[in-house]
Structure 1
Amino acid sequence: MTAMGAHQDAAGGSARGWLWWGRRRSAVLDVGLGLVSALECGLEGVGFAGDAGLPVPVGVLFGLVAGSVLTLRRRWPIVVVLVSIATTPAEMGFLMGLVGLYTLAASEVPRRITALLAGMSSAAVFLVTVVRMRQEMQQAEGFDPSGWYILLLSLVLTLGLNAPPLLLGLYVGARRRLMESLRERADSLEQELSLLADRAEERAQWARQEERTRIAREMHDVVAHRVSLMVVHAAALQAVALKDPQKAVRNAALVGDMGRQALTELRGMLGVLREEAPAEGPEPVPLAAVGRAAAAAAAEAASEDGPCLDALEELVEQSRLAGVVVELAVLGESRRYAAEVERTAYRVVQEALTNVHKHAAGARVVVRLAHREAEVAMQVENGPSDAGAADAQLPSGGNGLVGMRERVNRLGGVFVSGPTDAGGFRVSAVLPTVREAVA
């Protein structure tokens, strides 16, 4: 039974009733020590009664009461040491003195009080030893009781009795406090790790949501424009199939080309998503990695068809072939920008033209691109829809403008959209640029 466990029991035992022991074996140990100490002090009380001229039963009773105080060592260690000091002149309480000093040093009593009581106990033992040895040597022949021998021997005996239990108690108390601090630190670290795990889970959830949004945006931007053009060309093909077979053949060829391009882009994106899945093993690929791969695949797939500012003329031409009157105006010196900037600018114009096909059939469109010193600006403005033009009845999910705004805001740009006074619609975006060196 260590003092660490003893004092932990004493610290938590007060809430369990008048008994201060937390465990039964602690109570058994203390009661056993108290009985042994009481028996020792009772036997030593016989000699004390004879020296003091008291009746023997009184001396024995005094010894039994004084020795039984050791039972209180966990609750009141100071009282035990004080009783031990008080019984030292009567030459009783040897076990009580040793165990009392150990318990006092190992307890949470302030160190100045421990030092004071330890000094008092040592002084009492030293004085009693000096007096007793002087009396014994006076009765012996050939010894000088006034020499330094008595003092030195008394000092050695005092240190031998008091120093070991005191030092052991200090060591056990320090070890107990160290273990408690380590336990508290471990609990604190466990709480911090739990908080970090919760935050990591929240960040992972946020990242998964962001990647889902990014994948949806890439799918929408890559596929929606070409599919919209295919629907427009299919409607034109249906209208001219009997009147102008040659034009119908050209429209059919355009529909086929656009369908193949859309399938190529979609196949590239889905192919990368499959490649990111592990061939073996139960652990799934994080959605964030899949989303980044999908975005990269979309960019790579789109790059084959010119997802950059240099391909705007081709993009506009595709809308012209679908029957839309589109004017392209480029202002400023054309130059290369970061790939993400050019791709975002291209997607904004592409989605704006897609919305024209969906919602403003037959309207005139003006596409403006301005190269400025530290930014690139684009604007797609269409006039009112031609009431005589056939509506292609393209479905709309309402995600086009949202996707454009997200793309522009992610690069720190400005996005504005809304109806014009003439009854049309305008989409404008300004992107900050980082110029790239052209090899």
Structure 2
Amino acid sequence: MTSTGDVVEGRAGPPLWWARRRDAVGDVVLGGVSAVECAWEGVGFAHEAGIPAFAGLLFGLAVGATLVLRRRRPIAVVLVGIAVSPAAMGFLLGVVGLYTLATSEVPRRITATLTSMSLAATFVVMYMRTRGDQGASHTLVIVLSVFVAVALTVPPVLLGLYTAARRRLMESLHERADSLERELSLLADRAEERAEWARTEERTRIAREMHDVVAHRVSLMVVHAAALQAIALKDPAKAVKNAALVGDMGRQALTELREMLGVLRAEAPKPVAVTVPVALVGSFDDGPTLAELEALVGQSRAAGMTVELDVRGACAAAYAAEVEQTAYRVVQEALTNCHKHAPGARVVVRLAHREGEVAMQVENGPCDGKAAEPGLPSGGNGLVGMRERVLGLGGVFVSGPTDEGGFKVSAVLPSDRG
């Protein structure tokens, strides 16, 4: 059996109204002691009253045994103790009954009333039994009666009130501890969910970053390699130039990939509360900027693509690093898609600096049917990654085919972030 009175397998639970077996044993023992005491006092009362001793013995046993009911019927036990007080019996019955009454959930007004009745009954009985003593003054008899009445009534009531208050405090503390434990468990579950969400978002961010960094370079390398294969015998000088471009692209891709892997291998910081979208977490200080857009377009031109760069407006102040990098990545991924899906098409890259925002658009015309398909693989995540980047900064992203048969990617980013 547990401390709360639950039944353990193979062992019987507590009997009747008791919460624990030891409570039942204790009350039975107290009832037995009280019955013996009242029986002894009942025999003396029978001699004084001139009734048979056997009747006093049985009466005392019955009165004392009522203490067994103290947890079930505390008011009845106290009333029995008050009723038999004129017979000078039930000392243990009265003391334990008052204590139990004070510890129970009985309304305090009832407790106060019964305590006053017990105090008055004890005083009257003590006064009546001592006033006839020779040599005792009336004042001494009253003082002695008051002292005995208070000593037999007030301490058990105060002890009972203290025990009840302490029990309520402990129950409140246990409830608070249980509540805190549930809250901590809930917080732990939520922290685990946030951590899992953060890991998922971080994996997505890393995959998107690696896609943006590597895919563009590798796409250009494939395009140059195809051109190199076509002109290797016809124009060796141009073939050498294309080979050099392939080497440069490969070195740039390896450099950017090495930098990213270096960040991933760095010691992870201690977990902290997630307060910003994970897609935006990370260092943007070393990322590409809009100032490198001309070089990006030049790489596509070197690969044979017809690209026009149209910049409108002037940047009044430097944009936040994440805005610069996101704008660059959008243009980079859009150009990569043009290499993959629109070989030979004319491409226009537009960049507009406006008040409070920066807009970019990459639009390609219809695909040139004469151009050879580069055969570049597509993971289908380019547009998804661009949309996530732009929306993560609170921008607007639109993509889709044009009326002329081409494709257009447009994005607008707020320029006041950071």
In the superposition, the TM-score normalised over structure 2's length comes to 0.92
Counterpart among 208, 214, 219 of residue 217 in structure 1: 208
Identity of aligned residues (%): 70
**Contact map agreement 1:273 1:293 (CA 8 A) in 2:** no
Return the offset for 1:300: 5.8
- Counterpart of 1:33 in structure 2: which amino acid? L
**Contact map agreement 2:45 2:87 (CA 8 A) in 1:** yes
1:41 aligned onto 2:38: yes
Cα separation, 1, equivalents of 2:280 and 2:123: 87
In 2 relative to 1, CA 396–413 (structure 1 residues): closer, same or farther, beyond 3 Å?
A: same
* Equivalences for residues 85-164 of structure 1 within 5 A: 85-134=82-131, 136-137=132-133, 140=134, 142-144=135-137, 147-164=138-155
Mark the runs of 5 or more structure 1 residues left unpaired by the alignment.
279-283
**Contact map agreement 1:272 1:294 (CA 8 A) in 2:** no
More helix by share: 1
What secondary structure does 2:86 align onto? coil
Return the offset for 1:234: 0.5
In 2 relative to 1, CA 105–377 (structure 1 residues): closer, same or farther, beyond 3 Å?
A: same
**Contact map agreement 1:269 1:294 (CA 8 A) in 2:** no
| Corresponding residue number in structure 1 for 2:304 | 323
| Corresponding residue number in structure 2 for 1:198 | 189
Counterpart among 381, 385, 396 of residue 403 in structure 1: 385
1:356 aligned onto 2:338: yes
| Corresponding residue number in structure 2 for 1:340 | 322
What secondary structure does 1:328 align onto? strand
- Please say which of residues 325-334 and 268-277 is displaced more in the overlay: 268-277
Counterpart among 54, 66, 70 of residue 67 in structure 2: 70
In the superposition, the TM-score normalised over structure 1's length comes to 0.88
Q: What is the CA deviation profile of residues 244-300 of structure 1, one whole-angstrom value per residue up to 9, with x for unaligned ones?
A: 11110110000000100000000111122222269xxxxx999x9xx9899747x56
Flag as ranges the 4+ runs of structure 1 deviating above 4 A: 15-18, 291-297
Q: What is the CA deviation profile of residues 154-192 of structure 1, one whole-angstrom value per residue up to 9, with x for unaligned ones?
A: 111111111221111111111111111111111111111
| Corresponding residue number in structure 1 for 2:256 | 265
- Counterpart of 1:430 in structure 2: which amino acid? V
What secondary structure does 2:413 align onto? strand
**Contact map agreement 1:105 1:169 (CA 8 A) in 2:** yes
- Counterpart of 1:395 in structure 2: which amino acid? P
Return the offset for 1:408: 0.4
In 2 relative to 1, CA 93–295 (structure 1 residues): closer, same or farther, beyond 3 Å?
A: closer
Cα separation, 1, equivalents of 2:392 and 2:83: 83
| Corresponding residue number in structure 2 for 1:179 | 170
Counterpart among 415, 429, 435 of residue 397 in structure 2: 415
Cα separation, 1, equivalents of 2:70 and 2:230: 106
- Counterpart of 1:270 in structure 2: which amino acid? L
What secondary structure does 2:355 align onto? coil
In 2 relative to 1, CA 358–143 (structure 1 residues): closer, same or farther, beyond 3 Å?
A: closer
- Counterpart of 1:186 in structure 2: which amino acid? A
| Corresponding residue number in structure 2 for 1:25 | 22
| Corresponding residue number in structure 2 for 1:281 | none
Cα separation, 2, equivalents of 1:209 and 1:435: 25
Q: What is the CA deviation profile of residues 362-414 of structure 1, one whole-angstrom value per residue up to 9, with x for unaligned ones?
A: 00011111110110001111100000001101000111100100000001000
Mark the runs of 5 or more structure 2 residues left unpaired by the alignment.
7-11
